[in-house]
Structure 1
Amino acid sequence: MVFNGAGAGLQPTNLVALLDNGVLVAETVLTGRGASEHFAPTLRSLLREVEETTGQAFVPDKVVAVVGPGSFTGLRASLALAAGIAAGHNCPAVGVTLGAALRSTIGRSDVVCVSVARRGRFFIDPPNGPVFASQEDALDASSWGAVMGDAVDGGRTWPCPSFPVLAPSALGIVRASECDATHALSPLYVDPPEAKPPAAGLRPAPV
């Protein structure tokens, strides 16, 4: 069972998919904006579709999900659902970064994933090193082997080969989960949280 809730905007960059031994059984691709409210109903529809087709309930032996970087709400919704499914079926749960999933999708280990963030910035997920954020005008891609992600299809000229791959495939996400650099099903936040405790401190607990 595979989830991607990292995508944002109006492009079809999110998905819910069911796989059996590396073969895609059922899949629904969702647009980024507003996808968070559709993950659970979409999964329910896919499970019903598979059971009606095969006469058997689909039972996952592994749950894999993209942990980020990406949409704050989409990641929280998809990862919470993925963790709940894994706990309910007592099966392994594995998280992968968006960049790792994209690299596995096209089979190139040298590609840098660049995705759109807020306030004119990009999230950068390199093959080696941590994920970070950069202002668009401060981005230096001169040493990159190649680039892809939803920020690539924006009219910008890149000094390296670019691939018009906006989002990973379900099989690419699964392949990424078979590598060593995996994560728990917790959102990968690049920016620190904007919410802050009140200046006067928290109110005392009621008695």
Structure 2
Amino acid sequence: MWILALDASLSACSAALLADDAIRAGRSLAGERGHAATLPPMAQAVLAEAGVAATDLDAVAAVVGPGGFTGIRAALALAQGIALGAGLPVIGVTTGEALAAALPPAERAARAVWSVVDNRRGRVVLERFVSGAMAPEAPPVALDIADLPRPAGPIILVGDAAAAVAEALAAAGVEAVASRHRLPEAAAAARVAALRLAGRIPPLAARPLYVEPPAVRLPAAALPA
């Protein structure tokens, strides 16, 4: 099974190629801007390194959010373009799924996993996973940190808001550990996509997953007087 996975949901972008449960090639670049220009040559380089063409793939996957409006759409547009030309399915992977899948299996099995992503509006987007699960137990939800639910037991946190949430939960007497996995990676997204393609976790549409409407700023000339 060959899967090309793409991610540009947060402040980095990456591409990875999975074959037979192993990552054969991968590229990543930190930065919040320029994903639409960076991802296509990155994907091309990954395919070239592995010596495969798009027509050799079984599927293309993209991280669909929650995350940044522009990056999510850049990854999805590229995934859909590659898939259309090669006659392939496009598989959606959530940001939280990609983050949780990057954890070692032993860590996922020992604690529930919370993915917490800063929505840049003073809140975090929460995806919760029961211990050992690869798919979230419910859709993501945006909350103030003070309004986060109290977990039933110890948890491990992933995502770019992990440190802030761990500090807040610890102050409330919750056993919470912030992992080092702060940004999603295409390599982990590819592993989730393989499970989804095999029918081992529920399907997810390859379209943007926005928990809240994207923040759009009108150009100065368009603002009312």
- TM-score normalised over the length of structure 1: 0.79
- Write the distance in 2 (CA, Å) between the matches of 1:172 and 1:47: 17
Larger proportion of helix: 2
Residue 183 of structure 1: aligned partner: 204
Amino acid at match of 1:117: N
Distance in 1 between residues matched to 2:152 and 2:73, nearest whole Å: 33
Find the counterpart in structure 2 of residue 132 from structure 1. Answer: 141
Structure 2, unaligned stretches of length 5 or more?
130-136, 217-225
Deviates more, 1:16-25 or 1:167-176: 167-176
Relative to structure 2, which stretch is displaced further, 136-145 or 121-130? 136-145
Matched, 1:7 2:7: no
Shift of 1:193: 4.9
- In the TM superposition, 1:57-136 aligns within 5 A as 57=53, 59-106=56-103, 107=105, 108=108, 110-127=112-129, 128-136=137-145
Shift of 1:141: 4.4
Q: Percent identity?
A: 33
Q: Tell me: CA distance 1:46–1:193, structure 2 relative to 1, closer, same or farther (3 Å).
A: closer
Q: Which residue of 2 aligns with 1:42?
A: 42
Looking at structure 2, the residues matched to 193 and 171 of structure 1 have their Cα atoms a distance apart, in angstroms, of 27
Give the alignment of 1:155-194 within 5 angstroms.
157=167, 158=169, 159=174, 160-177=176-193, 178=195, 179-193=200-214
Q: Distance in 1 between matches of 2:83 and 2:43?
A: 13
Tell me if the contact between 1:112 and 1:148 (Cα under 8 Å) persists in the aligned partners.
yes
- How much does 1:20 deviate? 2.1
> Does the CA contact (< 8 Å) of 1:96 and 1:182 recur in 2?
no
Aligned residues: 188
Instruction: Tell me, in whole angstroms, the C-alpha distance in 2 between the residues paired with 1:193 and 1:122.
Output: 14
Q: CA deviation at 1:102?
A: 2.1
3-state SS of 1:172 partner: helix
Change (3 A) 1:111 1:81: same
- 2:205 is paired with a residue whose SS is coil
Cα shift at 1:149: 1.0
CA–CA distance in structure 2, aligned partners of residues 94 and 79 of structure 1: 10
- The residue number in structure 2 matching 1:18 is 17
1:82 is paired with a residue whose SS is: helix
Give the superposition deviation at 1:187.
0.6
Distance 2:215 2:53 in 1: 42
Kindly state the Cα deviation for residue 114 of structure 1 after the two structures are TM-superposed.
0.2
- Structure 2 residue aligned with 1:30: 29
- Structure 2 Cα separation of the partners of residues 141 and 162 of structure 1: 16
Give 2:191's aligned amino acid: R
- Give the partner amino acid of 1:4: D
**Structure 2 SS opposite 1:176:** helix
2:145 is the alignment partner of 1:148: no
Q: Assess, with a 3 A threshold, how the Cα gap between structure 1 residues 21 and 43 changes in structure 2: closer, same or farther.
A: same
Structure 1 SS opposite 2:78:
helix
Q: Distance in 1 between matches of 2:187 and 2:16?
A: 9
Could you tell which deviates more after superposition, 40-49 or 73-82?
40-49
